[in-house]
Amino acid sequence: MKRRIIIICATVITTFSVTGTYLYLTSQQTSAPERTSSISKKDLPTSKPKDSNQHDKDKKIGSNKENFKLETGFGNKTLEVGRLTGKVSQESVNQNKNFEIKLTNDKTAAAKKKGSSKLNNTTPNNTLPSKVKPGKVNPGKQEPTEETPIQDINFYDKERVMDPIDAQLESLDIAALEEKEHLVIGADIAKLQNLIATNQLSYKELAGIYLNRIKKHDQNGIMLNAITEVSPTIIAEAEQLDNQNEPNKPALYGMPVVLKDNIGTITLPTSAGTVALKDWVMEKDAAIVDKLKTNGALILGKTNMSEWAAAMDDGVPNGYSGKKGRSKNPYSSELDPLGSSSGSATAATCDFAAIAIGTETNGSIILPAGAQSVVGFKPSQGLVSNEGIIPLSSRFDTPGPLTRTVTDAYLTTNVLMDEASQTPLSKDALKNKRIGLLSDDESNEETAILKKIKKDLTTAGATVIEGITLEELEQVDTDYITLLNADFKRDLNQFLQINRSPMSTLESIIAFNKTNPTRNMKFGQSELVASQNSTMTKQEADNVANELIHITQNELDSVLQNERLDAIVSAGVGGSVKFLAPIAGNPELTIPAGYDTESNQPKSLTFVSKRNTDIALLNMGYAYEQISKNRKNPVLTNQ
């Protein structure tokens, strides 16, 4: 009997052991696919990329600066799990341990560029917070919920712009505005004033058309994101001008103007693109804003910019600010808008205002103008006041216009410089002029566009001198960066304190950014830290600046004088003259020169002349523009 009981017990125990082991192994096998701690190459999308070699490189986690992604299609959306592997400074949050889950349209995901070290314009607009971890996905039920709100990493605070637009458009007949919109697209100041003088348009309707275009194309549609602030009273101000019927109107009377977001105003926030100052309204207008208002111009709003005039971090994409996100190039989502006056160039080329104002320390007007097919003019150093503008380097910072025509740039510059003369520009201004074609960058490539540039200059009466070269000045580049770091720290601290900013020092701004690094310093802030760490004294900085100015002036003066040149011209957005001229203080004028036949990329020509010959330079540019007639409006549709 005992033996039988022992056998029965042993049998029961064995049965339970076998069953338990089987269930345990089964559960392990079933749960294994749910692990998300590692992602293998085979998990990558199977769609064929444009560049197969680059695609192979992208498969290696951490081996490139593009996000590593796992894409799973469901519905008309794509789930992307991106591991952040881009450049991160020691001052930024360590994002390499975080994952991003992104919901994008399949078409957008398929069109993404590979291997870029910076986020490009095709970055999806719907992105969940970066700290959300990837989990199981039900393809049939995937929809954003209130607990996991969609947030666009490149488009912030839409309501800042849309609320004042919607409030003002309510009182207007949108159908009537859109019926007249074709009259405004591409129109220069003279045409707009004529339309108003002949009662085909009113100042109120003009402002309304611009607001409606911003609503349709900047904050919706292709979401160019060029505008950061809109005046809540622009329509009322325009209507007041309509009722006044002022005789002998100034050229800019009633013209809506947008200002780069580092130009101070008493009615709208001024931020230089940083979250730390996004709601700061200054106590007085910048000097150039006073001049614009005195001449009857209407301040429509502010434009997006590369944060801190591109002095935030080397990893920050052109046109990106923590305040509003990244602005796009309207000629193609694949093209860089350049900066730092990115939004001003976009506003000008897309007819979001009659006039846009930017600022330049080195290239910040000229480069985005060239990239976005508008006229950009950087006046001679000291001719236009930079008082009331958040500084990068007060000794170099220069405001200037971005417009659709040279004449509009001329009319605006006259106001900014307090120039009383309104003598019309001459289309004969290039006759008997010697123009030196700089032999560097795109000026070296015998393209169809360059051939046309030379032909147009010759047709306008100029003698083109080819093969002009400038000396390589590597030490100037190094010393200039060191100088900017010192100037930025000193000038910014002084500006913030004098104007009673909520942030009184660069150090306090750096500390503020660390409180929410994902938004405030998404790409790092190494350049801010480098400036804060600068120990160069004011006297040392002045000595370095004087030497740099002396070297660059001598280089440009010698070339202009030795070759008996009236101006130097450089094709494209590169070229050493565009770096040297702002340091030397020479005026620069960029004009559209055509478009690449394959990519639709705008091409440009930049004129540089002797210091304080601004009006002569504008005349030469006008003569070239009238012969070449290169500019085309962008097509504002999804690309």
Show which residues are catalytic: 260, 340, 364
Residue with tokens 């042993």: 10
Report helix, strand or coil for 277.
Answer: helix
> What is the chain's length?
639
- DSSP code string of 263-331: B--SSS---TT-GGGTT---SS--HHHHHHHHTT-EEEEEE--SHHHHTS-TTSPTTEETTTEE---TT
Query: Pick from 212, 192, 213, 214: which is nearest to 203 by CA?
Result: 192
Strands 567-571 and 434-438: parallel
Contact 124, 104 (CB under 8 A): yes
Rounded Cα distance between 44 and 55, Å, is: 10
Instruction: Specify which residues 160 forms β-bridges with.
Output: none
Report helix, strand or coil for 626.
Answer: helix
Residue with tokens 């290039």: 430
Triad 169, 175, 181: Cα angle to 5°: 90
Amino acid sitting at position 423:
T
Contact 334, 120 (CB under 8 A): yes
Contact 420, 403 (CB under 8 A): no
Exposure class string for 244-269: b at 16+ Cβ within 10 A, else e? eeeeebbbbbbbbbbbbbbbbbeebb
The end-to-end CA distance of the chain, in Å, is: 88
**H/E segment holding residue 81:** strand 77-83
Rounded Cα distance between 285 and 270, Å, is: 10
Residue with tokens 């004087």: 546
Residue 48, φ and ψ in degrees, nearest 5: -75, 125
Q: Which two tokens stand for residue 442?
A: 């795109």
Q: Which two tokens stand for residue 10?
A: 């042993």
- DSSP code string of 516-576: SHHHHTTT--HHHHHHHT----HHHHHHHHHHHHHHHHHHHHHHHHHTT-SEEEEESS--T
Triad 439, 440, 446: Cα angle to 5°: 70
Burial (Cβ within 10 Å: 0-12, 13-18, ≥19) of residue 133? exposed
Tell me the CA distances in angstroms from 634 to 85, 217, 346, 425, 597, one per residue in order.
Answer: 34, 11, 10, 26, 14
Cis peptide bond N-terminal to 47, omega within 30:
no
Contact 342, 327 (CB under 8 A): yes
Rounded Cα distance between 524 and 511, Å, is: 12
